[in-house]
Structure 1
Amino acid sequence: MKSNKNFEASAFVKYIRISPFKVRRILDQIRGRSVKESLIILKFMPYRSSPIILNILNSAQANFLNLYNEDSKLLYVIEARADSGPMLKRFCPHAQGRGFPIKKRTSHITSMV
C-alpha cells in the first residue's frame, strides 16, 4: 500500500527576457489544472511566453517521473509563478537633450507539479 506522502517536483528557468506581467497572465490560466489539460492549453495559446512555460511544465513532469517513478496522469499544477529578475536599464534620446529611461524586464519562472 502506498504511503500518504505528498509527491512534488519542480522546474524553473531564470533570466528570461520577457516581462513577468506578461508571463503571469498565462500562468493564471494553468494554475490548479491537471498537467495534461495545461499542456493542451499552452500548446494553442498565441502568446510569446507560452512555449517557454510549456517547456518548463514538460521539465517538471519529467522531474516527477525521474524522482518517483509514478503515473504522471494524475499530476496537477500546484504552483506556477513568475518573479521579476534584474532589469536592464537603457536610455532613449528625447527632445531637448533629455534621456528617457527604458526598463527591459526579466523573469524567473517556477512551476511545481
Structure 2
Amino acid sequence: MFDEILNAVKNELGGHPDIAGNITPEQEAALHDELANHINNAATAGETTGGGLLDTLKNAIGSGGTAVNAIEGGLINSLTTKLGLPPAVTGAIAAALPGLIQKFANRQQPQ
C-alpha cells in the first residue's frame, strides 16, 4: 500500500508550482516520502486496531474537524522543521492533504 500512497502523493504534488519552484529535488523527494509515510501509518493504525482511522478522518474532513486540523498542523510543523520548507510549500501541502487522505479512505477495502 505504501507504494500506492507514494505514487498518489507524487501525482498530487509533483510539479505543483508552489512546491517545485521553492524547494530542491532532494527536498521534494523527502517531502513525498514523509507524506506517504504519514498517510500509510494512519492506514496501518486503522487496520491493526480494527478502527478506521482514515474513515474517521474522511468524515472529519467534511466538517473541518479538529482531528484533521491537528494532524495537518502536526504534519506541516514536522515537515517544516525537518526540511525547512517555505510558507508557499506548506500552504500547498495543507491544501492537498485532505484530498489525499480522502482518496485513501475511499480506496480501503472492507475487511
TM-score w.r.t. length of structure 2: 0.38
The structure that has the greater radius of gyration is: 1
| Structure 1 or 2: more strand by fraction | 1
TM-score w.r.t. length of structure 1: 0.38
| Structure 1 or 2: more helix by fraction | 2
Bigger relative contact order (CA 8 A; separation at least 6): 1
